[in-house]
Amino acid sequence: MRGLCLDFNDPCMKLLTVGTVAFDTVESPYGKVERTVAGSCMYSAWSASFFIQSVGMISIIGDDFPEEELHILEKRGVSTAGIQRIQGAKSFYWHGRYHPDMIHRDSVVTELNVLENFHPQLPDDYTTTPYILLGNLTPTVQQQVIDQLAEHTTRLVVLDTMDYWIKHSLEELQRAIALADVLSINDEEARLLSGERSLVVAAAKILQWGPSYLIIKKGEHGAFLFSSDDIFFVPALPLAVVKDPTGAGDTFAGGFLGYLAATDDTSFNNMKRAMVYGSAMASFVVEEFGLQRLKTLTRDEIQQRVLKFKDLVSFNL
Amino acid sequence: MRGLCLDFNDPCMKLLTVGTVAFDTVESPYGKVERTVAGSCMYSAWSASFFIQSVGMISIIGDDFPEEELHILEKRGVSTAGIQRIQGAKSFYWHGRYHPDMIHRDSVVTELNVLENFHPQLPDDYTTTPYILLGNLTPTVQQQVIDQLAEHTTRLVVLDTMDYWIKHSLEELQRAIALADVLSINDEEARLLSGERSLVVAAAKILQWGPSYLIIKKGEHGAFLFSSDDIFFVPALPLAVVKDPTGAGDTFAGGFLGYLAATDDTSFNNMKRAMVYGSAMASFVVEEFGLQRLKTLTRDEIQQRVLKFKDLVSFNL
């Protein structure tokens, strides 16, 4: 049985998430937060921690990053041992400004800082983790992580990426995609990557490159899950207020994989449920700036919201 | 009982659709058709005729319009007696060119012709029709139709409109909206009309102006149905090929109201089914240019496609 925990004294990791741990300054029509704790790895780890205890983070920070933010996660059962802290260096910093449509945004400042020399090293007890989430990073860095995994224990590798790598590192990206089980991109990226306008045709093409599943995210318009045989769609929940869409995709991915890891079931039917749980998590995170909403969120609220997704699309013939 | 047919010798009209009967020249990346038969009233009547026999059309044409196109509809149980034919005048003509994204389009030519003097006159036996579809027209013309309806027999008035009237005839439009039971607009129009970015907030605002239901269409991203208590969403079916999106909204509306008229049930649960049937009809019409696909469509194909919509969003918790 793959993903089996062999060492009972040291509960093995169930889910590994690799990405940025950063500071964000975010401006939207609803306000502004300065240097709030953020990053793809933070959003996904927070989100996954609502579903399982043994989440491991792989990232890099400077000595400016507040230790207590990692302690809060440790208390939730998240291991931060895989986060390298570089003395005398600064954490990744991004400053973004959303347009009134809350979709388009300008990057005002992007300081890579420690991220410029990020070569993730998996602690030994992380290499047998069954569920792996590779957040948007240089494709070669993503592949470095895959290379360190003990192949026979890996159950599902989810790879996230963005248009920049499609445009500038296509070969490296395609090598990484070939090693992933699930590719997670947005609709414009799917079109760019495949050269196809139709998402059905794009999906069929991309699935031939290796992954068994393709998630196509459409932001406020929902998300598709494609396999070679099946299609599933989950809408985004229509919300009265969206204050900050930053991290919605990572929160979705953390919820999606957290649910799969907790249930340890990668059937298409269970993946459909995971898509709904991921979408529910994303619907919460955008309600407030940064990680704020996740920090007050309860499992009861998640369950209530998942029922709303069910109601939204249910009909009888 | 409202909408009851009282004269058994002359089966009364069940659904009235008001709009344009026109010629379209359409260019898309998939080809071009010249002066094909089109118009909102044609698309909606064709679509509704798959669900009920007694559909009446209210429109205006010139003497250039081919009689046989009306005969085909008559054979399907559609009455064309409400279409005024103006001798020595030309039918409405539109020439559009779709961008590669198949969403944006340029109007190359728009010739109103007979439409400039369109004052719909309902034949006497049309005034008691229970289900009314007011396609996109000048709001005052839409209101002229409502004014001719025998109030106690009207069961549901669906009003379609567009951004032009929101920008240029807001007062007249709001008077027409106040008289409608269902307003059908797209997401950008809902935002423009309400001044709200969130579709939930926009819907709550617009529903206070009179209509009991609001349909917000999002093209390839699906459609919402709002009442003051409920929300329902139906995605658009992801298609391999979309050749011509012209008339998709009218075909949707015709299927939606055709289904409601056929079942004579305006409960929210039945409206949800009607949304799915409408979406199924729209998913067919875009597969070919103009009315082509509807002319070969069968009820069996509709039923099969509706099941695909069910599969697309179904999940068990």
Residue type, B296: T
Q: What is the pLDDT, as a whole number, of residue B274? A: 98
The pLDDT tens digits of the residues spanning B273-287 come to 999 999 999 999 999
Q: What is the pLDDT, as a whole number, of residue A167? A: 97
Query: pTM to 2 decimals?
Result: 0.94
Q: Is B57 helix (H, G, I), strand (E, B) or coil?
A: strand
CA–CA separation, B165 and B153 (whole Å) = 28
Interface of B to A at Cβ within 8 Å reads: 100-102, 197-201, 218, 221-222, 224, 231-235, 238-242, 269, 272-273, 275-276, 306-307, 310-317
List of domains in chain B: 15-312 (3.40.1190.20)
Relative orientation angle of helices B268-285 and B40-48, to the nearest 10 degrees: 120
Q: What is the pLDDT along chain A (317 residues), one digit of tens a residue?
A: 333 444 444 467 899 999 999 999 999 999 999 999 999 999 999 999 999 999 999 999 999 999 999 999 999 999 999 999 999 999 999 999 999 888 899 999 999 999 999 999 999 999 999 999 999 999 999 999 999 999 889 999 999 999 999 999 999 999 999 999 999 999 999 999 999 999 999 999 999 999 999 999 999 999 999 999 999 999 999 999 999 999 999 999 999 999 999 999 999 999 999 999 999 999 999 999 999 999 999 999 999 999 999 999 999 99
pLDDT at B2 over 50: no
Q: What integer is the mean pLDDT of B254-267?
A: 97
CA–CA separation, A65 and A92 (whole Å) = 10
Q: What is the pLDDT, as a whole number, of residue B11? A: 59
The pLDDT tens digits of the residues spanning B17-67 come to 999 999 999 999 999 999 999 999 999 999 999 999 999 999 999 999 999
* The pairing of beta strand B83-86 with beta strand B231-234: unpaired
The pLDDT tens digits of the residues spanning B123-153 come to 999 999 999 999 999 999 999 999 999 988 9
CB-CB neighbors (< 8 A) of A315 in chain B: 232, 234, 269, 272-273, 275-276, 310
CA–CA separation, B23 and A158 (whole Å) = 50
Closest-CA residue of B relative to A271 is B315
A316 contacts B273? CB cut-off 8 A: yes
Which member of B197, B222, B314 has the closest CB to residue A100?
A: B197
Q: pLDDT band for position B12 (50/70/90)?
A: confident
* The pairing of beta strand A223-226 with beta strand B55-62: unpaired
Q: Which residues contact A156 (CB under 8 A, 6 or more apart)?
A: A130, A131, A132, A181, A182, A257, A260, A266
